[in-house]
Amino acid sequence: MTKKAVIAAASAAALLIFSPAAYAQCGGASWYGPGFNGKVAASGQIFDQNAMTAAHRTLPFGTKVEVTDQTTGRSVEVTINDRGPYHGKRIIDLSKGAAAALGFQNRGVTSVCIAQK
């Protein structure tokens, strides 16, 4: 391996180590709010059903993700501040406010894709 090739490989490896990992996932989404509003979320924050927040099983608290509803095409940015969802194969639980912004509040569930911001 030439010196240039070694330097190029080392530079590429350094970029991978120090770049934040992109995260993307598609699947089912639901929303929650009533009954949880004003209670403490898993992050320790007080849950506000009208805020742009969400629950995810593994993403760190404070992570911002863009959620795109595959039915309406609408997108919204939310901050992960809780854990869940715990129903079926859903990938994210959105606050009531985020569900309303995406246009699926009346349906209760929808298909979304999420991408880390």
Contact present, 43 and 81 (Cβ < 8 Å): yes
Which pLDDT tens digit goes with each residue over 23-67? 899 999 999 999 999 999 999 999 999 999 999 999 999 999 999
Rounded to two decimals, the pTM is 0.81
The DSSP code sequence of 13-82 is: HHHHHHSPPP-EEEEEEEEEBTBTTTSBPTTSSBP-TTSSEEE-SSSPTT-EEEEEETTT--EEEEEEEE
Strands 109-116 and 24-32: antiparallel
Which pLDDT tens digit goes with each residue over 70-83? 998 999 999 999 99
